[in-house]
């Protein structure tokens, strides 16, 4: 689950990035309009969090351009301009959600998660596979009634696999969705995290849920 | 006015009518008098014709004189002109002689008299003769009309005179005295009485010369008869009174007519006035409505204006020339208002953004900190971040308050005597750490001990802001100079940098609130929200200082402040201290 955070206030972007990462999202940052445009067009994002008052190119212009060019990622507008007109205008231009500043961090994260769910046509925040339950809201995982602790990365990987259940997920897909621009491009990391995940989810349970498709990637069992 | 002149005209007409009535009255009176006089005279003449003298001699009977040929009047038929004139002529002296002796009595044929005098005016008549024969009408009774024969036209043979006389105490009459010498006739009979009103004989009538006795013996004898006819003046006066009454009635009629005319005219005038007033009122109403129609149009257009739509929805063609300047002025004002609203909106948005963003950052950081248990180091970093954000917000709030106070005029000057050089070097020292951290050299050049009378707090704010900008928007290893130089009456402060410079098109806007040349905070921390230069400008105006910018993109900028402060030393020198 990869997110582009477009915000020019340093402290805010830093805090939001950290919060999102702790929730298991990969976060790319952009502080100016042109930079945001380049990143949004050059990578795959589940959600773009967009401030409107930006240096160089303002947020609404960016949004219009993206929607015109067929980009379908979800956009959450995050702005100090919170009047009704501003909200209506933003939503009418193709935004999926609108959050005026200042806001509660929990609300912000909930809205981001909701947008991610919407991207995968999932209404239920709890993903269930066999006896495995993944609560995307509470960021908790249980199997056969036992709580399992996962790091943000592990959780992120598991959630990604679950959203693509029954389908093969390639290493590059995992890479693109789970790692931000600052991570080194070594696809080994994916294998390492798959092993960690297997140790926590499959080791003491049957049947194994994470399957390996040699030469292709990984897959979580469908129903 | 019209009424007055018309009423004057009517008054004139009335007075003319009155005069006319008066004249008519007088004419009628005169005519009546004349008629009566004529009638009197006619009666006298008739009597003269009819008078008969009765004498004793039978021979003289043929001489019974009806009338004399000379008394032929138009009314008289020829029946009485039968006296053979030749006989009379031939027997003139004889007749005279006869008359002298015989004193004939006067007689009338009563029937004749009645016929002749029927319907005439004379109530009284009296005939006297020179020989004392006399005849009086019965109506005279005991009264008699006196006459002095001797003095009455002694030389005339035929003469009459009119006279008003008191017949008795209660009776006043008008009489005519006619003297006719019946036997002394001229050869040429008169065909008509001379119609002289007052006394005869008339000129133009050739009367026979007065008879003189050829022998001289009868020189004093005048065989004349004096006929007097009179009427009661009371009757005439009654007639006159009836005329006067008629006249008065006429005048009354005229007056009432006049009054009626005047009233009619007044009524007409009032009606005309009313009509004119109504018509005028109607026309005025119509004209005013016509004139106000474009105003209505304008009103509707103005009433459509609201905070979202400042366009005056009206075209020039719909308005008359007189209203166009108003509409244009209104349009301009609305434009300004629109811009002011836009500015206000922008400022609100800017303020919201400037305050809400760091607030959001703090909130997010604190939420993040509280989300789970963290290491001490993590907490410390987060708290430091929050503190920095707080400090920046405080600065922004202070700047906003400063501008608000400037707008409200609630920021008074606090002038005092101070050393500007010292203040400037203090500012440089204050910003040196920032400059050093960016590798920028910050230098102060200027005379020491420049004492001036000004507001040091505001000057410091100006200098710190400008120096901060000069350091902030500079290239790495750039230079910033603060120069002080004194001129007579003013001090020039220059802050020069060789940084990024300002585009010419944006130079005019840098003093606007929240304006950022590149709309970016990428040049460092978020301490600058675009209010610094607005404050600099406001303070410079307050201090009465000139503020100029010269800049070239990529080369650097110079901010020049012209402070109108007389140097204290110079001032002292000027007054010789």
For residue range B370-393, list pLDDT tens digits in order. Answer: 988 999 999 999 999 899 888 888
Q: Is B405 among the domain residues?
A: no
User: Assign residue A56 a region: left if phi > 0, alpha if psi is -120 to 50, beta otherwise?
Assistant: left
ipTM for the whole complex: 0.80
Rounded to an integer, the average pLDDT of B358-371 is 90
Q: Which of A61, A88, A119 is the last residue before a domain boundary?
A: A119
CATH code, B501: 3.30.565.10
- Mean pLDDT, chain B, whole residue set: 76
Q: Is B334 among the domain residues?
A: no
| Predicted local distance difference test score (pLDDT) of residue B99 | 54
d(CA B511, CA B516): 9
Q: Which of A119, A153, A173 is the last residue before a domain boundary?
A: A119
Q: Which of B220, B239, B258 is the last residue before a domain boundary?
A: B239
Mind telling me how many Å the CA of B393 is from chain A's nearest CA?
A: 13
| Predicted local distance difference test score (pLDDT) of residue A6 | 93
DSSP string spanning B333-388? HHHHHHHHHHHHHHHHHHHHHHHHHHHHHHHHHHHHHHHS---HHHHHHHHHHHHH
- Cis, peptide link before residue B367, omega less than 30° from 0: no
| Predicted local distance difference test score (pLDDT) of residue B173 | 84
Q: Is B208 among the domain residues?
A: yes
Structure tokens at A136: 């995307």
| DSSP secondary structure letter of residue A186 | -
Q: Is B319 among the domain residues?
A: no
Could you tell me which of B276, B272, B274 has the C-alpha nearest to residue B264?
B272
Whether B530 has its CB under 8 Å from any CB of chain A: the answer is no
Q: Which of A6, A7, A8, A9 to mutate to test the interface with B (most CBs of B within 10 A)?
A: A9
CB-CB under 8 Å, A80 with B521: no
Residue B477: which domain range? 412-574
Can you state the angle between helices A10-22 and A105-119, rounded to 10 degrees? 60
Residues A149 and A198 reside in one and the same domain:
yes
Asked if residue B329 has pLDDT above 60, the reply is yes
Confidence bin at B93 (pLDDT 50/70/90): low
Find the residue in B nearest to A103 (Cα): B360
CB-CB under 8 Å, B372 with A22: yes
| Predicted local distance difference test score (pLDDT) of residue B349 | 75
Q: Is B485 among the domain residues?
A: yes
Mind telling me how many Å the CA of B352 is from chain A's nearest CA?
A: 6
d(CA B422, CA B450): 8
Q: Which of A90, A119, A148 is the last residue before a domain boundary?
A: A119
Asked if residue B274 has pLDDT above 90, the reply is yes
Confidence bin at B53 (pLDDT 50/70/90): low
Asked if residue B97 has pLDDT above 60, the reply is no
Residues A159 and A198 reside in one and the same domain:
yes
| Predicted local distance difference test score (pLDDT) of residue B202 | 41
Residues A114 and A133 reside in one and the same domain:
no
Taking only the tens place, the pLDDT of each residue in B153-175 is: 777 777 888 888 887 888 888 88
Structure tokens at B150: 């001797």
CB-CB under 8 Å, A80 with B368: no
Q: Which residues of A touch B368 (CB under 8 A)?
A: 15, 18-19, 22, 105
Residue A169: which domain range? 126-220
CATH code, A190: 1.10.10.10
| Predicted local distance difference test score (pLDDT) of residue A76 | 94
Taking only the tens place, the pLDDT of each residue in B527-555 is: 566 788 888 988 888 888 888 888 888 88
Asked if residue B203 has pLDDT above 60, the reply is no
Q: Which residues of A touch B (CB under 8 A)?
A: 8-12, 14-16, 18-19, 22, 31-32, 51, 53-56, 79-82, 100-106, 108
Q: Is B566 among the domain residues?
A: yes
Could you tell me which of A217, A25, A4, A13 has the C-alpha nearest to residue A117?
A25
Is the Cβ–Cβ distance between B75 and B38 less than 8 Å? no
Residues A132 and A58 reside in one and the same domain:
no
Asked if residue B95 has pLDDT above 60, the reply is no
Rounded to an integer, the average pLDDT of B180-194 is 45
Could you tell me which of B570, B544, B558 has the C-alpha nearest to residue B447?
B570
- If one counts the domains in chain A, the total is 2
Nearest-5° angle of CA B9, CA B14, CA B17?
125
**Nearest neighbour of B364 by CB, restricted to A19, A22, A31:** A19
Q: Are strands B490-497 and B556-563 parallel, antiparallel or unpaired?
A: antiparallel
Residues A42 and A76 reside in one and the same domain:
yes
Instruction: Give the full edge-to-edge strand order of the sheet including A217-220.
Output: A169-170, A217-220, A210-213
CB-CB under 8 Å, B363 with A9: no
Taken in order B274, B276, B278, B281, the sign of the CA dihedral is: negative
Q: Is B519 among the domain residues?
A: yes
d(CA B197, CA B542): 120
Residues A56 and A143 reside in one and the same domain:
no
Asked if residue B89 has pLDDT above 50, the reply is no
Taking only the tens place, the pLDDT of each residue in A56-102 is: 888 899 999 999 999 989 999 988 877 888 889 889 999 999 998 88
| Predicted local distance difference test score (pLDDT) of residue B379 | 93
Decide: helix, strand or coil at residue A143: strand
- If one counts the domains in chain B, the total is 2
Kindly give, in sequence order, each residue whose CB lies less than 8 Å from that of residue B513, ignoring residues fewer than 6 positions away.
B347, B350, B403, B530, B531, B534
Confidence bin at B108 (pLDDT 50/70/90): low
Residues A6 and A115 reside in one and the same domain:
yes
């Amino acid at each position: 689950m990869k997110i582009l955070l477009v915000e020019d206030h340093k402290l805010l972007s830093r805090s939001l990035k950290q919060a999102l990462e702790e929730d298991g999202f990969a976060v790319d940052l952009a502080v100016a309009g042109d930079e945001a445009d380049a990143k949004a067009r050059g990578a795959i994002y589940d959600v773009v969090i967009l401030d409107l008052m930006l240096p160089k190119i303002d947020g609404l212009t960016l949004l219009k351009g993206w929607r015109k060019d067929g980009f379908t990622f979800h956009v959450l507008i995050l702005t100090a301009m919170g009047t009704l007109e501003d909200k209506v205008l933003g939503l009418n231009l193709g935004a999926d959600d609108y959050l005026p500043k200042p806001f509660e961090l929990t609300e912000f994260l909930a809205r981001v998660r909701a947008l991610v769910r919407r991207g995968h046509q999932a209404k239920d925040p709890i993903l269930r596979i066999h006896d495995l339950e993944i609560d995307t809201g509470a960021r908790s995982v249980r199997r056969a009634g036992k709580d399992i602790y996962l790091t943000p990365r592990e959780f992120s990987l598991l959630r990604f696999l679950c959203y693509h259940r029954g389908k093969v997920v390639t290493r590059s897909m995992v890479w693109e969705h789970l790692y931000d621009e600052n991570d080194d491009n070594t696809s080994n990391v994916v294998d390492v995290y798959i092993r960690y995940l297997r140790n926590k989810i499959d080791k003491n349970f049957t049947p194994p849920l994470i399957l390996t498709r040699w030469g292709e990637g990984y897959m979580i069992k469908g129903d | 006015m019209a009424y007055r002149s018309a009423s004057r005209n009517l008054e004139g007409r009335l007075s003319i009518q009155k005069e006319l009535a008066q004249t008519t009255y007088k004419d009628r009176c005169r005519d009546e008098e004349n008629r009566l006089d004529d009638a009197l005279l006619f009666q006298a003449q008739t009597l003269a014709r009819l008078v008969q003298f009765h004498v004793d001699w039978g021979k003289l009977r043929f001489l019974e004189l009806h009338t004399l040929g000379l008394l032929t009047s138009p009314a008289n038929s020829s029946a009485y002109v039968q006296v053979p004139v030749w006989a009379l002529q031939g027997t003139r002296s004889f007749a005279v002689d006869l008359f002298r002796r015989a004193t004939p009595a006067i007689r009338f044929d009563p029937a004749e008299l009645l016929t002749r005098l029927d319907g005439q005016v004379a109530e009284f008549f009296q005939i006297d003769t020179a020989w004392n024969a006399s005849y009086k009408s019965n109506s005279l009774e005991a009264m008699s009309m006196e006459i002095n024969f001797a003095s009455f036209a002694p030389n005339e043979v035929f003469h009459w005179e009119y006279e008003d006389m008191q017949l008795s105490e209660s009776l006043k009459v008008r009489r005519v005295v006619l003297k006719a010498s019946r036997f002394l006739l001229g050869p040429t009979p008169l065909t008509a009485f001379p119609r002289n009103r007052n006394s005869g004989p008339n000129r133009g009538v050739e009367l026979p010369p007065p008879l003189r006795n050829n022998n001289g013996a009868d020189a004093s004898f005048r065989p004349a008869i004096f006929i007097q006819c009179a009427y009661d003046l009371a009757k005439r006066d009654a007639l006159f009174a009836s005329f006067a009454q008629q006249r008065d009635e006429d005048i009354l009629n005229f007056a009432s007519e006049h009054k009626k005319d005047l009233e009619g005219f007044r009524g007409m005038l009032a009606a005309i006035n009313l009509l004119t007033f109504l018509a005028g009122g109607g026309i005025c109403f119509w004209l005013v409505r016509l004139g106000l129609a474009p105003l209505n149009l304008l009103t509707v257009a103005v009433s459509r204006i609201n905070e979202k739509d400042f366009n005056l929805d009206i075209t020039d063609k719909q308005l008359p020339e007189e209203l166009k300047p108003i509409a244009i002025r209104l349009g301009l004002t609305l434009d300004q208002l629109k811009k002011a609203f836009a500015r206000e909106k922008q400022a609100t948005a800017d303020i919201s953004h400037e305050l809400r963003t760091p607030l959001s950052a703090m909130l997010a950081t604190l939420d993040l900190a509280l989300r789970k248990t963290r290491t001490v180091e993590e907490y410390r970093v987060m708290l430091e971040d929050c503190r920095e954000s707080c400090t920046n917000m405080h600065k922004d709030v202070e700047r906003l308050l400063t501008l608000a106070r400037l707008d409200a005029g609630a920021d008074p000057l606090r002038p005092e005597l101070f050393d500007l050089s010292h203040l400037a070097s203090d500012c440089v020292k204050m910003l040196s750490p920032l400059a050093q951290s960016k590798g920028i050299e910050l230098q102060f050049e200027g005379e020491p001990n420049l004492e001036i009378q000004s507001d040091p707090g505001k000057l410091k704010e100006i200098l710190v802001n400008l120096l901060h900008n000069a350091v902030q928007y500079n290239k790495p290893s750039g230079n910033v100079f603060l120069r002080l130089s004194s001129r007579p009456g003013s001090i020039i402060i220059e802050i020069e940098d060789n940084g990024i410079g300002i585009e010419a098109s944006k130079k005019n806007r840098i003093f606007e609130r929240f304006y950022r040349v590149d709309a970016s905070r990428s040049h460092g921390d978020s301490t600058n929200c675009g209010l610094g230069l607005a404050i600099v400008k406001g303070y410079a105006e307050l201090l009465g200082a000139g503020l100029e910018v010269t800049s070239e993109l990529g080369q650097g900028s110079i901010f020049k402040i012209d402070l109108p402060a007389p140097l204290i030393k110079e001032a002292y020198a000027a007054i010789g201290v």
